[in-house]
Amino acid sequence: MGSYTPQTPCAPRAAKHPLRVCSAPRSLKYPRRKEVPPIDFCHFPVSIIKRSEGRSAVAAAAYRSGTKLTNEWDGLTHDYTRKGGVVHVEIMLPAHAPPEFADRSTLWNSVEQIEKARDSQLAREIEAALPRELSREQQLALVRAYVKDNFVDKGMCADFAIHDKGTGNPHVHIMLTVRPLKENGAWGAKCRKAYDLDENGQRIPDGKGGWKNHREDTTDWNDKGNVEIWRAAWAA
């Protein structure tokens, strides 16, 4: 019988998937409250509420103010009474506006009724961030002065709402009428016909028995440079 020669034990093979010790997720080690990033104070979008986009001034006003309003144009009721974060709403009117326009439903339903076209422009809306370091009273005073100087004194009706959910993003929504009011309080025209004139100031025949003409706005509210003027006034 042959002698037995002890075998050298084999070294264990390296595991294909070695066990790794992972550190705890950051969210477990450092719990933090979820916060909404603050809106930049220069945040200042300006938009037009258009019927052609399926929007209405009444619906927008109801949402911004957190109220329930019925649009008499299409019969739809918009109820946003459960919307949170609406801390102040207010309507500011030029001196010649009908006193009843101080009622939100009356104002925006009047706008809806005077605009007959399917592609009508119903209102202008501005959203602006409010300085967080100001108190609520100071924010309100800032908005009132700004709206008066830049819009109401120019003849626009303004409906504004301050929103603040306590997440560090207080801001204001300002809805503005885009059709001027006459001195008697009735709605006026947005534009008028103007005749083209030659170098002598005479009307130019159009070759069809009439005169060449074009349409021009009755106010300067739609001037492209206004957005920068309004933004600069807000930042001042």
The answer to the question of residue 234 being in a domain is no
- Domain limits for position 109: 46-191
Residues of the chain with pLDDT under 70: 1-42, 192-195, 214
Cβ burial 194-204 (10 Å sphere, 16+ → b, else e):
eeeeeeeeeee
Counting the structural domains of the chain, the total is 1
Angle at alpha carbon of residue 63, lines to 75 and 189, rounded to 5°: 65
In a domain, 7, yes or no: no
Query: What's the predicted TM-score (pTM) here?
Result: 0.77
In a domain, 85, yes or no: yes
Q: Which sign does the torsion angle of CA 84, 145, 92, 39 carry?
A: negative
Domain contains 218: no
Q: Give the CATH number for residue 132.
A: 3.30.930.30
Sign for the pseudo-dihedral over CA of 161, 162, 166, 167: positive
CA distance 103 to 108: 9
Render pLDDT for 74-120 as a digit per residue (tens, 0 to 9).
Answer: 999 999 999 999 999 999 999 999 999 999 999 999 999 999 999 99
Tokens representing residue 90 in the block: 């207010």
**37 within a domain of the structure (yes/no):** no
- 232 lies in a domain? no
The pLDDT value recorded for residue 191 is 80
Specify if 155 maps to a domain: yes
Mean pLDDT, the chain, rounded, equals 84
Q: Give the position of tokens 């492209």.
A: 224
